[in-house]
Amino acid sequence: MKKVEELLNENMRLPIICAPMFLVSSPNLVISACKSGIVGSFPAFNTRTQAALNEWLTTIASALEAEKRENPATKVAPFAVNMVVHSSNKRLAADFDVVKKHKVPFVITSQGNPQPIVDEVHQWGGIVFHDVITVAHARKAIEAGVDGLILVAAGAGGHAGEVNPVALVREVREFWKGPLVLAGAINDGYGVRATEVLGANYSYMGTRFIATKEAEVDPDYKSMLLESDLRDLVLTDTFTGVKCNFLKPSIARAGIDLAMIDGKESVDLDLGGSNAWKDMWSAGHGVSGIHSVEPISHLIDRLINEYNQAAQTPIFTHASPINSTRTGG
């Protein structure tokens, strides 16, 4: 835990990790997040070649080192790279060679056994957190020696779990005392504070950062986030084979009949040339709380204000107005 605290806590303004988002996270987004005092991350899959991955890592590391030199009093958070460690990822070995070359300080693994990655990352002093969606997955990750767990609960954007976040955190805390990250519908400072009260150390936020100036996505994606609420989401495995929260308007925009998938567990659908991640856009359950597109620096300042406000809110007491005004027996 001490290694995690030295790398993360001492360099962060808020306990937030800007989640790695496929086709969304870019060097610009990562750098802006880290400069604002939260962890920025990206999936290795966002680069199409190892040469591009090398270029991204060089760009990010150089920008953050320059920021530290020019503003030594400013908290600059570390960055992370997300790697799929499942055997189906044929790029893993080549991508990891690049990550190893750069001695990336923070590696996020998902969909497989992280143990071989953990051993090597620890050799250069880095840390590894692993994505899990069930308690069984959490136990296996712990056995593999990870430094932290990312609990991807119900309501998360992208590939989401189906377990209630309250239940998932509390059950994992029965046997794991190490760092916990919670993902699932967290998009403001109040949610970040609630995550800590629940027992997690950090919040995983993705969807909210799509609606920022730095996110290099289709402007219509950002507009759709501002206009959507919970009614505009569907959890389906139709497009990727794994259950994922998608924005219904983006599915309709791609020319697919929503009636074919809405409310159904699994559908064999002809996408007609559409690409699941390019044409159908993902979002989490926190989408209804997104009302503006703003620079990440402004967003973080607002999240800090909300977090501090939540931290100062008095807890319920027998003398509180909500109790004393009750009538009847």
Mean pLDDT, residues 9-15 = 94
Residue 55 has pLDDT above 80, yes or no: yes
| Confidence bin at 278 (pLDDT 50/70/90) | confident
DSSP 196-236: HHHT-SEEEE-HHHHSBTT--S-HHHHHHHHH--GGGEEEE
Q: Alpha-carbon distance 101 to 54, whole Å?
A: 9
What are the chain's domains?
2-216+295-312 (3.20.20.70), 219-279 (no CATH)
- Helix (H) / strand (E) containing 309: helix 296-312
Quick one: residue 315, left, alpha or beta (phi over 0 = left, psi -120 to 50 = alpha)? beta
Instruction: Name the maximum alpha-carbon separation found in the chain.
Output: 71
Residue 263 has pLDDT above 70, yes or no: no
- Which tokens in the block code for residue 163? 């377990």
Burial of 314 (0-12, 13-18, 19+ CB in 10 A): exposed
Q: What is the DSSP letter of 314?
A: P
- Which tokens in the block code for residue 103? 């001695």
Mapped onto helix, strand or coil, the DSSP state of residue 108 is strand
Question: Tens digits of per-residue pLDDT, 199-242?
Answer: 999 999 999 999 999 999 999 999 999 999 999 999 888 777 78
- Helix (H) / strand (E) containing 249: helix 248-253
Q: Alpha-carbon distance 45 to 21, whole Å?
A: 10
Chain centre distance of CA 304: 18
Mean pLDDT, residues 13-20 = 97
Residue 325 has pLDDT above 50, yes or no: no
Partners of residue 127 on adjacent β-strands: 106
Pairing, β 202-205 against β 127-132: unpaired
Question: Tens digits of per-residue pLDDT, 206-216?
Answer: 999 999 999 99
Neighbours of 322 (CB within 10 A): 8
Q: Alpha-carbon distance 140 to 80, whole Å?
A: 22
| Confidence bin at 274 (pLDDT 50/70/90) | low
End-to-end CA distance of the chain: 50
Residue 267 has pLDDT above 80, yes or no: no
